[in-house]
Amino acid sequence: MLAARLAERGQASILINRTPHFGLGVAYSTPFDGHRLNVRSARMSAVADEPGDFVRWLEAYHPEWAEPDGFAPRRLFGLYVQDRLKRVETIFPGCIERRVADVVSIEADGVTLGDGRRLAARAIVLATGNPAPKTTRRNAAGGLSRIVPDPWAPGALESIGRDDDILILGTGLTMVDMVLVLEGRGWRGRATAVSRRGLMPRAHHLTADAVAPPDATMTSGPLSRRVAAARRRASAVGWRTMMEGLRPVTSALWREADVATRGRIVRHLRPWWDVHRHRIAPEVAAVMYRLLSDQRLTLAAGRIGEIESIDGGVVLHWTPRHGPPQPPKVASWAIDCTGPGHDAAGDALTGPLIATGRARLDALGLGLDLDDQGRALNAQGRADPALFVLGPPSRAAFWESIAVPDIRQRIETIVEVLA
């Protein structure tokens, strides 16, 4: 999306990806049509000033999904992004160069590739998306073959039998996606999903939600008062309407918050925020509610402990959030759905930048510290004019950094600087 916008502004770029499948990433590479967008099609345009672009594309190529208030398969959005990139390359020949390669290091004036070649550039944008989960990485490396450490890896779920019972670590969007895949393949077993609070994403309403802009009591003052005001507003207009009103100002409120307030949000509010903010399509919610009603899916709140291997399965030791101790949970498989394992300090690209002082972690250690334009801040707090971060890796700076409407706005800011 960024490369296309830069080309439209006359700025050439080199787009580097590990595979030839440019424009898909993890979310949109799924071939399963049961994986729906979590945002209505009318809000999924890749171009900020053309809000109907995605719906028009659906009307032209997949009219059966061209409902503005609907939730199209994620696969189609991936095709849309790829098609847009190809169209822009045709209209602006030579403005986008594609490279299938690994970047092994970021230099002052470019990058070094895995084969040792160097590419010079006046600016670099890290748009690396979400990393794989890391909760069970150590267990899987230790030889526990019944653990799926990265559920998005090719063939990750293929060994799970139709009647196998499974443990899922995490109860968020990735859990929903994996259950949908298994169900779509004819899986008939039972799943127990465990997370700290046992919360599952809420559902979108069947029709688009109204928007109630937040008042001053929700955007200023102590966090406890803001939450109380939000609850009052939710009782008056509905929680979806209240959340829609917060969406346009969320990143600004996060940027304005001091470190102590951000820390309280992360520790206490985030799980509730996530399940109400990042909602699932009504059709998807219907499948999940049916599985819950049939007792084929159970949500458990508690702290995840050690995972052990047994003959033909795994054992999860856990501590319930409330109530007396419970026995370990046993299943044929365990799937790590705890979410992206962000670790800027340990990442092969950003770790050396932090170690040398070219970049720094934010005060909470969530990720790279950035300025309002998405430029990395160095150890002294000065913005690097040649190093930008876009999308999920920018979460520490902007909080909301994973949904297309939010990324789309960040792209426009970066384009204004670079072009």
Identify the domain containing residue 288 by its residue range.
Answer: 137-202+280-336
Instruction: Give the pLDDT of residue 132.
Output: 86
pLDDT tens digits for 366-396?
A: 999 999 999 999 999 999 999 999 999 999 9
Same domain, 348 and 409: yes
Name 289's Cβ contacts closer than 8 Å, sequence gap at least 6. Answer: none
Which of 262, 277, 292 corresponds to the end of one domain? 277
Q: What percent of the chain has pLDDT over 90?
A: 91
**CATH code where residue 155 lies:** 3.50.50.60
Does the pLDDT value for residue 143 go beyond 80? no
Predicted pLDDT at 145: 80
Do residue 323 and residue 182 come from a single domain?
yes
Instruction: List, edge to edge, every strand of the sheet that includes 124-126.
Output: 124-126, 383-389, 375-377
Given 230, 254, 277, the domain boundary residue is 277
Across the strands, what pairs with 302? 320
Q: Is residue 208 assigned to a domain?
A: no
Helical segments of 163-310, H only: 173-184, 216-219, 223-237, 239-246, 250-256, 259-264, 270-277, 282-293
How confident is the model over 408-418, as a mean pLDDT?
95
pLDDT in tens, 185-197: 999 999 999 999 9
141 pLDDT higher than 90: no
Q: Are residues 13 and 117 in the same domain?
A: yes
Show the DSSP H helices in 48-193 as ranges.
53-61, 74-91, 137-141, 173-184
Arithmetic mean of pLDDT, 151-179: 96
Q: Does a structural domain hold residue 211?
A: no
Is the pLDDT at 402 greater than 90? The verdict is no
Residues 367, 321, single domain; the answer is: no
Residues 6+ apart with CB under 8 A from 356: none
What's the pLDDT at 144? 65
User: Is the model more confident about 105 or about 402?
Assistant: 105
Smallest CA-to-CA distance from 4 within 81, 107, 58 is with 81
pLDDT at 330 over 60: yes
Residues 318 and 241 in one domain: no
Burial (CB count within 10 angstroms: exposed 0-12, middle 13-18, buried 19+), residue 180: buried
Confidence of residue 135 (pLDDT cuts 50, 70, 90): confident
Single residue among 256, 277, 298 that ends a domain in this structure? 277
The per-residue pLDDT for range 20-42, each reduced to its tens digit, is 999 998 889 999 999 999 999 99
Whether residues 309 and 291 share a domain: the answer is yes
Contact assessment for residue 71 and residue 54, using Cβ atoms and an 8 Å cutoff: no
Length of the chain in terms of residues written: 419
In a domain, residue 296? The reply is yes
Q: Is the pLDDT of residue 128 over 60?
A: yes
**Cα 105 to Cα 113: distance, rounded to the nearest angstrom:** 7
Does some domain include residue 387? yes
Angle between helices 173-184 and 282-293 (to 10 degrees): 80
**Domain match, 175 and 32 both:** no
Q: Residue 210 domain-assigned? A: no
Q: Are residue 363 and residue 393 in the same domain, yes or no?
A: yes
- Neighbour-count burial of 108, counting CB atoms closer than 10 A to its CB (0-12 exposed, 13-18 middle, 19+ buried): exposed
326 and 364 together in one domain = no
Q: How many helices and strands, by DSSP H and E, does the chain display?
A: 15, 15
Query: Looking at the domain assignment, is residue 195 inside a domain?
Result: yes
Are residues 190 and 239 located together in one domain of the fold? no
Instruction: Check whether 139 has a pLDDT greater than 90.
Output: no
Residue 209 falls inside a structural domain? no
Which residues 6+ apart lie within 8 Å of 142 measured at CB? none
Residues 241-265 pLDDT 10s: 999 999 999 999 999 999 999 999 9
Across all residues in the chain, what is the average pLDDT?
A: 94
- Are residues 285 and 191 part of one domain? yes
Q: If 0-12 CB within 10 Å is exposed, 13-18 middle and 19+ buried, where does residue 77 land?
A: buried
Q: Give the per-residue pLDDT at 140.
A: 60
In terms of domains, do 6 and 100 share one?
yes
The pLDDT value recorded for residue 137 is: 72
| pLDDT at res. 220 | 92
Domain count, the chain: 3
Per the domain annotation, does 373 fall within a domain? yes
DSSP designation for 267: I
The mean per-residue pLDDT over the stretch 355-370 comes to 96
Kindly indicate the confidence band of residue 134, based on its pLDDT and cuts at 50, 70 and 90: confident
- Which tens digits make up the pLDDT trace of 300-327? 999 999 999 888 899 999 999 998 989 9
Q: What is the pLDDT of residue 287?
A: 97
